[in-house]
Structure 1
């Protein structure tokens, strides 16, 4: 390997987990860094096939390619492309760096000790998962001394000024507002996705969740709703919960299909890129999301939502969910805050009856809830987004 320090070159390593979770966040970070900062970004990904689902232009057979100004390299073992050290090295979500990279870092560290004029290793950061828990403030930015003598810094995204911030592209809210202001955009988007029969007055819910009986309970409730509800599902894990009410096997479902069950119409979505997914969230009246990337994008959509958080041992995910709900509901009227919290908890605990009853208590056109969903992104961004904070952190370090 060759060493080539450059103040304007960063490397990001991402191991794909759960198909779209980690790579979704990492790809947004890489794109925004490349578009808004004078930095050359190289993104190393171990599963290009899964990555290509959210970046259709990506060719999984190529070991190196450029999209949106980002160089995307296949992370193979061993690396097919030589790693050249830059200014910053980010490992996304504690993925284990390749041995070739670690060897290079150690060699640079040792050389810089022997010769002060030698190039120093890049600043090494671990991008952590997003959490609203209070302890994140105390851990954000802390260094960890590795056995090799290198320091690795922990970068925690978060909702307060003492954390690493939230991924949000420049002028995203302005673009969203302009999109939502023109109601024809919604109808045009649905048509482009092959969705038919959705009238402007109909309620539309997007669903991107894990398996849960609570989703089945919601769909059974929607069948008996007073007005038509259109539920938009990508072909994936969410549908596994609905097999008992579907007229065919999940394998037989395909994009563009629709299934009418009373006043519920289930639509099967095609895969879309991240920009298309953002527009889908902007266009729905309510969004059910999972993981981290879609969870944050649902907030930026300024629409009510349910967060289906990834289950962890000893129900630790419920602690993370509660920490977020405490923040999110801070300025909501007490009764509305209670209903929204119980709805989210019931959905995550697979409590079917409780999920259905509290869904009915939340009026999708309830003005306080909609006003709160609109104001929340402005408050949550805390004036400075993650990329801006990250660049400043690197400068200060």
Structure 2
């Protein structure tokens, strides 16, 4: 019989949480033959990346996954063989009691946040707390051997490489989004949280000797873009030109479309966790806007990734990448740091591809989870 999996997702930051769990649920079904229920407490956030969702229905099937609404009053359900609490969310008390009543307790895992910090390797797969005799385990995604790896569907890198080598396919895809890149311009994407440093970056792009066509999916950064442009509102389809910079707003798209958008661009600014990983699989230079945390502890996480990511770069190229990322996440000088990066563009571009291929040698996250379950039973 197929293993039954319950994945619980409490939507905290609109799209990152549900983005990761939705990808994971589908991969477990398609590639590993699992029976998956995805419990989501905010179906409206889910609807943005899966428009077929009916937010009024508490139980429905989407792409082979049973999607269940997780309301304030628990509807009741028998626990699965494997239970995943995504990003340390708290399971419903009634469900936890039912786990304790099972003749054979399920494998209960806390799928934690992605981090490159050294301590993650030592904590991966360690037992955590117990609840009435049911043991919970830590499971950490990561970039190093000894972690759970990254979400990566079978054949993803081969599909990406073929797409990037097919100019006609890229053109057709961009046309489907209403995008006709400015001739000779650098195509870039911007998906970020609110950021005071954006104005300085857009200033230098507008004054650059080479044009930039900037694609901005609808999201939280749009207000900052509007202020810089001096317009009252922006919506999908709008195009504004300032000097060498063309800004185009595009609609929020499905995950598969967003992947291809990243593959089309020469540079991608991304945020959170899901888009951060997908930008790495694009094999193109990127800029990560990490989710801000109290007392700036997120900067430790940022520095840990930068130390790992830039290890193979020359000292000058490493300094350029680190300076840009730190400026973007700590209100630094984006104009000067962007100019520094452009000076090392060929090396940084090749490094992005090398990093992608290196990470692709590790087991993917879904496979690592299945292997842990198989060894546990």
Query: TM range, normalised to the smaller chain?
Result: over 0.9
| Contact residue 182 and residue 213 of structure 2 kept, 8 A | no
1:355 to 318, 334, 337: 334
Partner of 2:307: 326
Q: Which residue of 2 aligns with 1:253?
A: 234
Q: 1:152 — aligned with what?
A: 136
Gap runs ≥5 in structure 2: none
**SS class of match (1:213):** coil
Residues 184-231 of structure 1, C-alpha deviations (whole Å, 9 max, x = no match): 2222222111223x1453111100111112111111111101122111
Kept after mapping to 1: 8 A contact 2:212/2:245:
yes
Q: Secondary structure at the match of 1:43?
A: strand
The CA distance in 1 between the partners of 2:95 and 2:353, in whole Å, is 44
Q: Hey, what does 1:265 align to over in structure 2?
A: 246
Shift, 1:107, TM fit: 2.1
Equivalent position of 1:66 in the other structure:
61
Deviation sequence 1:269-314 (CA, Å, 0-9, x none): 1110000000000001100011000011010000001111011122
Verify the 8 A CA contact 1:180 1:282 in the aligned structure 2. yes
Using the TM superposition, give the Cα deviation of residue 241 of structure 1 relative to its aligned residue in structure 2, in angstroms: 2.0
Deviates more, 1:224-233 or 1:125-134: 224-233
From 372, 389, 393, give the equivalent of 2:351: 372
Aligned residue in 2 for 1:21: 16
Q: Distance in 2 between matches of 1:300 and 1:184?
A: 21
Work out whether residues 226 and 234 of structure 2, in 8 Å CA contact, stay in contact via their aligned partners in 1. Answer: no
Distance 1:365 1:345, change over 3 A: closer
- For residues 122-151 of structure 1, the C-alpha deviation after alignment (integer angstroms, 9 at most, x for no partner) is 111110000000000111101123242221
SS of 1:146's partner is strand
Q: CA RMSD in A?
A: 1.5
Secondary structure of residue in 2 paired with 1:388: helix
- Structure 2 distance, partners of 1:190, 1:215, is 25
Q: Does the CA contact (< 8 Å) of 1:159 and 1:381 recur in 2?
A: no
1:288 to 265, 269, 289: 269
Looking at structure 2, the residues matched to 247 and 383 of structure 1 have their Cα atoms a distance apart, in angstroms, of 46
Structure 1 residues 37-46 or 378-387, which shifts more? 378-387
1:105 aligns with 2:99: yes
- Answering whether residue 22 of structure 2 is matched by residue 39 of structure 1, we say no
Shift of 1:370: 1.6
How far apart in 1 are the matches of 2:110 and 2:248? 39
Structure label with greater radius of gyration: 1
| Aligned 8 A contact 1:65 1:73 in 2 | yes
Deviations 1:62-116 (A, max 9, x none): 1111112111111113233x312221011101111112211211222xxxxxxxx
Q: Structure 1 residue runs of 4+, over 3 Å off?
A: none
**Matched-pair contact (CA < 8 Å) for 1:222–1:264:** yes
Match of 1:345 among 326, 342, 360: 326
Matched position secondary structure for 2:6: strand
* Aligned match of 2:71: 76
Matches of 1:9 and 1:216 in 2, distance apart? 49
Conserved? CA contact 2:195–2:224, under 8 Å? yes
Determine if the alignment matches structure 1 residue 166 to structure 2 residue 150: yes
Gaps of at least 5 residues in structure 1 are 1-5, 109-118
Which sits farther off after the overlay, 55-64 or 285-294? 55-64
2:150/2:364 contact within 8 Å kept? yes
Contact 1:187 1:200 (8 Å CA) reproduced: no
What is the count of residue pairs matched by the alignment? 376
Normalising to structure 1: TM-score of the pair? 0.91
Contact 2:287/2:325 (<8 A) preserved: yes
Q: Is the 8 A contact 2:186 2:213 kept in 1?
A: yes
Q: Distance in 2 between matches of 1:206 and 1:145?
A: 42
Matches within 5 A, 1:71-150: 71-80=66-75, 82-108=76-102, 119-150=103-134
State the distance in 2 between where 1:317 and 1:327 align: 16
How far apart, in 1, do the equivalents of 2:140 and 2:89 lie?
15
1:211 to 194, 197, 221: 194
